[in-house]
Amino acid sequence: MRYQSTTGLVADQIEELVARIWQIVQCRKEQVWPPTVGLYRAVTLTLVYVRQNLNQAAVGDLFGVSQPTVSRVYRGILPLIGEALCLHVPDLEEAIRGRLVLVDGTDVPTGNRAGHEDNYSGKRRRAGLNIQVAADTEGGLLGISTPLCGSMHDRKVFTESGWEDLLVETSFIGDPAYQGTRAITPRKKPKGGELSAADKKNNKTISSLRSAVERCIAHLKNWKILATGYRGRLAELSNIIRIVTALEFYRLGW
């Protein structure tokens, strides 16, 4: 059965991932999925869940298992995926070296949660976590920052995540939210005046280059668990973002 459109990975990548997880499990002599499911199906089920962000009952219907079984498989397999793919996540400092870097912020929506009102973003009009995304000029993913409260401005997240210090010697482009950093940003229209022809041309060039990071974010959010509303425990979301990031790097062939 073909799974590429529902898992995001081609068959060879899934088989390689299953083989790595099998090696990890063999070393520990511990099975975290029901024997009736099988490792390949367990991995595929987990990939479908994070790629499509369906509810667990719907995933259970697709695979012919119960919702509690889906929950057990997902909670057992996802951390193993993270372990198996950890070496595919490049060190950001190495990944950006010698490149023109594009930076933009996006959110991982979570819905309103009691006790987490600081995750609500007035700009986006929804609650979530704010992450910074770094891409190259071809739209390839280079890195994702530590997620922080959704109410924080991109500029503040950029600084508090440590990226401002990390990119201090790197040429990078951002939108107007990054003014005040070393980012190359579009020039704003002066109050009561107009931009010069040179400034308009410069802004057009910057906007054209920045489209690549927007494509990068769109590809990242094809993992729908980061795009259409995370329903699980908020305490686990940062780790899920890390694992999904590893899956995206793996998909891209890092």
Answer for the pair 235, 242: CB distance below 8 angstroms, yes or no: no
Give per-residue pLDDT as tens, 211-235: 999 999 999 999 999 999 999 999 9
Calpha distance 178→104 (Å, rounded): 9
Task: Taking residues 78-103, report their average pLDDT.
Answer: 95
Q: Name the segment(s) of the chain with CATH classification 3.30.420.
A: 92-231
Give per-residue pLDDT as tens, 2-60: 667 799 999 999 999 999 999 999 888 778 888 889 999 999 999 999 999 999 999 99
Q: CATH code for 92-231?
A: 3.30.420
Q: What is the pLDDT of residue 189?
A: 83
Helices (H), the chain: 4-7, 11-28, 39-52, 56-63, 67-85, 92-95, 154-160, 163-166, 197-220, 234-252
Calpha distance 110→228 (Å, rounded): 9
Indicate whether 1 pLDDT > 70.
no
Task: Taking residues 119-145, report their average pLDDT.
Answer: 94
What band does 138 get if pLDDT is binned at 50, 70 and 90?
very high
Q: What is the pTM of this model?
A: 0.91
Give per-residue pLDDT as tens, 183-214: 999 988 888 788 888 889 998 999 999 999 99
